[in-house]
Amino acid sequence: MSHPIDVMIYGLGAIGSFYAFILNRSERVRLTVVARSNYDAVCQNVRLSSPLRLFAHLVKSPDEASTMDYIICANKAIDQHRVAAVLKPAVDPDRTSIVIIQNGVGNEEVFREQYPRNLIITCVTWVGATQTRPGVVNHTKSENLQIGTFPNPRLDQTIATERLTEFAALLEHGKTRFQICDDIQQKRWEKVVWNAAWNSVTTLTMVDTQTWLHSSPDAEPFTRKLMFEVITIARACGVPLGDDLIDQQMAKIKAMPGIGSSMQVDRKNGRPMEIDVILGFPLQKAKEHGVLAPYLESLCVLLRAIDQRLRAAL
Ligand SMILES: NC(=O)C1=CN([C@@H]2O[C@H](COP(=O)(O)OP(=O)(O)OC[C@H]3O[C@@H](n4cnc5c(N)ncnc54)[C@H](OP(=O)(O)O)[C@@H]3O)[C@@H](O)[C@H]2O)C=CC1
Ligand SMILES: CC(C)(CO)C(=O)C(=O)O
């Protein structure tokens, strides 16, 4: 058999658990999972929609682990500087690839700063899942992952391609749907158009997407204007998103039953929300490029007030 591949999942919530099960299907993978608040529950057993067992080395912190071939960050992107620092004991500058499976844009920057020699594989997931109680994850809808590399001029391109291909082989073995994308930043921005709209409105209103769209004749035009602002910001950053993306995303959401969002789950659970990577980074780019984004700005200010209240109550 080929040599084992050491993979660590940081953030064993809904998405981390989902991909832990996928990677568990590969005999080559020696899996380590880092669990924090759900550590005790995961010690008993972690379950994904059905009672599957997860075979992994369970730790509370990366400093209990050895260095890894791949570290998958499936934590909430809310404290990225600290998370990047915490991973250090598991990072080998010449061997470890950091895989980011998170919503948002700009997520890679802190990892690039702290680990300038390592490959970053950046991913967009369309899996819908929720941790309903500690260690129990309900996979609710869709299964798709888009993956690509975050450019690193210090790293030999052949090595980058080899590692991306190896990681893709693990996903293939895990029988999950995925695509390798040369234009992964475009995919990240497309997803952030979606998240800036649906995560924000579902969290501010605490209703699902269908209820929101039917709430008044202004709801859909409002959402379209919001999406258009994010598209305009992406274009100012050199990411060529088309106007038709709005129609595509509207058609997609209308074809789905009403859904909430991962941000809405955070609000329900009284946990900090991913405002910076979903709204804050696009707004920062809007300011840098002189793009006006009043809808996005308003939602961001309102969400920050809720977020501050949630954090104060922790
Ligand atoms: N759930 C979904 O349907 C989707 C989620 N995503 C994205 O996937 C990523 C993971 O989300 P999801 O799995 O839903 O989140 P969950 O809340 O289910 O799990 C988050 C995990 O990250 C850990 N975590 C949270 N905050 C921090 C922090 N500041 N530092 C270190 N670890 C932290 C949590 O540990 P602890 O419990 O100890 O706090 C938990 O293990 C997010 O970027 C999200 O936007 C993308 C598409 C769909
Ligand atoms: C599951 C999905 C796609 C729903 O919009 C999502 O990205 C989220 O909830 O953050």
**Residue-level pLDDT at 80:** 95
103 lines ligand 1 (CB under 6 A): yes
**pLDDT class for 1, splitting at 50, 70, 90?**
low
How far is ligand 1, taken at its centre, from the CA of residue 76, in Å? 4
- Whose C-alpha lies nearest to ligand 1, atom 25? 76
Token output for 208: 């699902």
Helix 294-312 vs helix 184-205: angle between axes, to the nearest 10 degrees? 60
What does DSSP assign to residue 266? H
Ligand 1, closest atom to CA 17? 13
Q: State pLDDT tens for residues 190-203.
A: 999 999 999 999 99
How far is ligand 2, taken at its centre, from the CA of residue 262, in Å? 6
**Half-sphere exposure (CA, 13 Å, Cβ side) for 307?**
16
The closest of 101, 307, 129, 103 to 195, measured between CA atoms, is: 103
Partners of residue 57 on adjacent β-strands: 32
ipTM of the complex, rounded to two decimals: 0.98
Lowest mean pLDDT: which of 140-144, 166-170, 278-282, 303-307? 140-144
Mean pLDDT of 266-272: 97
Q: Report the predicted TM-score, pTM, of the whole model to 2 decimal places.
A: 0.97
**pLDDT class for 135, splitting at 50, 70, 90?**
confident
CA distance 187 to 197: 16
Where b means 16+ CB within 10 Å and e means fewer, 74-91 reads bbbbbebeebbebbeebb
Q: State pLDDT tens for residues 16-41.
A: 999 999 999 999 999 999 999 999 88
Instruction: Let me know the angle formed at the C-alpha of 128 by 125 and 133, rounded to the nearest 5 degrees.
Output: 125
104 lines ligand 2 (CB under 6 A): no
Q: State pLDDT tens for residues 44-88.
A: 766 666 555 678 899 999 999 999 999 999 999 999 999 999 999
Handedness of CA 75, 78, 81, 82 (dihedral sign): negative
Q: Is the pLDDT of residue 170 over 80?
A: yes
